[in-house]
Structure 1
């Protein structure tokens, strides 16, 4: 009997599968009424005012990477992991292919802005071979990062990478029906595998990026290459929880995007110790 392979699905269908009894954290009102000046490491800055109606009013103080915030018209903030640490997902009032998320630490007065964009239909349909031949990245999803400070100039170095994740095999329970595992292979790639849920049986290796924001707290971002998908997560390996979002197209016509909040209970399955680099003598 021939095995029937599971099918890759668009993010809209994935969101519907995650929705019932999702562990995504609720909206936090702690930022209501706050006025925060976000100053980034490219010398750009934006003045953000958060109101009680879920709107964000942004004035660009100095252009640059902060200008991506100019068309923001709403936000969803949560602080389920640590006191004073927020994950903010902005609603973009312009191009539906654009995504803006902010990791915000009021205690340390620092932040990281994650700006992503989805590829158009023509880009999505480029074959993996053609992308390699043209020296393009395998994923058409683009992402950039701006690190900064709150209410003061951005003078610190960017946060370190999340090399501490490398070698870990972690399991994430997003809802009673949705469970995935991640294997962090190196600083640039990770493997994901759906154990339960609407993508059960699917697995792949995709491009990733990460930053250590505090002890045991990581900002982890991935870009999928088969279905254009951007994932942005805060992973807390002290509280063993995550908070974040997944962003992609609603359907196969690439006419609308879909962003949905996610949160998970985390567990470490195992850890493979890093192998020391071979000496020149041992390689001869």
Structure 2
């Protein structure tokens, strides 16, 4: 039976996932390319991709820099680019779904809660009307290399995963299941691995990127964690990352890749569903 001592840090989770993990290769497809992201909110940020680093420059000067990045693809023409950015003393998780097939993108920008927020009790947060998780995330959409026009990005929130119970094998030793409950919550449990026996229900977000291709993002509340994966239901593959504090303090971050072979266990259809 699990106890509170079974919960581990994101750094320890990364160590557990690493051996023989099913991660996808870091692609060089974007090397030498420049893409300008035209956000629906008016931002215009140019990105230049080199072999191991990318650089970015906002047209209005609000953001610029460079970072090591990872680029992967579970579907031809659609790339997941992930990196960490530090600006004004704050670390940010940046994940870009670059959809070359539709010349559009979705950007996911997240950050960890600070020490004070993390130490708030769940009961206090609930009574104060706050989300139970302190992990923050924002979603932005836009077009690639052309000015934004309404409707230019086909990526949209979806209910298509709701009701599914999926199995994810991240390595020979790490196996999880997800139950997608509704538009805002899902339940996970570790069937095998370093978190075996642990489970929880957490905040989540679903976006349909293309037919049977989804962006799934979750925010855990007990150990502050931001998870993000692209799920290709047609090819039974997922790829993404997990981001959080490496240890028990707040001075080191862990941002590690995860990928799985996935399959549907079953689907629940509720009588009240339209």
Tell me the equivalent position of 1:84.
77
Contact 1:72 1:90 in 2 (8 A): no
Tell me the equivalent position of 2:254.
258
Tell me the equivalent position of 2:174.
178
Aligned length: 270
1:203 correspondence with 2:199: yes
Larger Rg computed on CA atoms: 1
1:62 deviation in Å? 4.0
Tell me the equivalent position of 1:282.
none
Question: Once structures 1 and 2 are overlaid, which stretch shifts more, 119-128 or 89-98?
Answer: 89-98
Q: Work out the CA distance in 2 between the residues paired with 1:60 and 1:97.
A: 18
Contact 1:179 1:195 in 2 (8 A): yes
Tell me the equivalent position of 2:236.
240
Q: Which runs of 5+ in 1 are unaligned?
A: 279-284
Q: Which protein has the bigger strand share? A: 2
Q: Work out the CA distance in 2 between the residues paired with 1:99 and 1:244.
A: 12
Q: Deviations over 1:50-91 (max 9, x none)?
A: 012x1112111246xxx5x63442211112x11111111113
RMSD: 1.6
TM-score (norm 1): 0.91
Match of 1:60 among 35, 44, 58: 58
Contact 2:55 2:65 in 1 (8 A): no
SS in 1 for 2:24: coil
SS in 1 for 2:260: strand
1:98 deviation in Å? 1.7
- CA 1:4/1:150 → structure 2, altered by over 3 Å: closer, same or farther? closer
Shift >6 Å, 4+ stretches: none
